[in-house]
Amino acid sequence: MDQIYWARPVPGFGDPRARVLILGLAPGAHGANRTGRPFTGDGSGYFMYPVLHQTGFASQPEGTSRDDGLKLRNAWIASVVRCAPPGDKPTPQEIRNCAAHLDAEIAELKRLRVIVCLGKIAFDGYLAHLFAQGIITRKSDFRFAHAAHYVLPNGRHLLCSYHPSLRNTNTGRLDAAMFTRIFVRARELAGLK
């Protein structure tokens, strides 16, 4: 109650020369919706940014606000939905409404080589993007699983990870070692030393 919420669509964040796109599902109600930056100020970000720092994608191990000095290197973070969804799960219509924003953002990332989808909703949203762009002809050729890896017809790599939500990290479905392996692999596939 003592904080002013961003409470607007949350833009992507990171290095415009990124080789790796980290794609989430939507802003957290009391994280990005409050701070205005993806995965900032909530449990998912507190889990993710230390891993990004350890694997060389982030300048520091925590993200608490838009002005905390955090910078990303060779990575861009975006979401398939730009506003915090009611009930913490976006509807198919919300995903369709935001698709043009995701399309435009991806088009600007000219050096992109690897897309890391965090959770099935992000994965499905990215497959919808690929299908709409004519890059794939069937979404059914791709199945979400943690650590699944696909080489896409355009030469880019698609990696999947469970979402770093507290639902997954507190239950042990996703731990730091599993998550770290995803980003070590992303660095390799992106040709980063």
Rounded Cα distance between 106 and 87, Å, is 27
Residue 8, CA distances (Å) to 94, 187, 193 in order = 14, 32, 37
Residue whose structure tokens are 């002013």 = 4
Q: pLDDT tens, position by position, for the chain (193 residues)?
A: 677 888 888 999 999 999 999 999 988 888 888 888 999 989 999 999 999 999 999 999 999 999 999 999 999 999 999 888 887 788 888 999 999 999 999 999 999 999 999 999 999 999 999 999 999 999 999 999 999 999 999 999 999 999 999 999 999 999 999 999 999 999 999 999 7
pTM, two decimals, is: 0.95
CB-CB contact of 81 with 95 (8 Å): yes
Rounded Cα distance between 115 and 104, Å, is 15
What's the pLDDT at 5? Answer: 84
What's the pLDDT at 145? Answer: 98
- Both structure tokens of 179: 């998550």
What's the pLDDT at 1? Answer: 66
Pairing of strands 75-79, 114-118: unpaired
| Structural domains of the chain sorted by starting position, each given as residue range(s) with its CATH number in brackets | 20-190 (3.40.470.10)
CA angle 191, 106, 189 (to 5 degrees): 15
Rg of the Cα atoms in the chain: 15
Long-range CB contacts (within 8 A, 24+) of 121-124: 121/25, 121/26, 121/80, 121/89, 121/90, 121/95, 122/23, 122/24, 122/25, 122/79, 122/80, 122/163, 123/160, 124/95
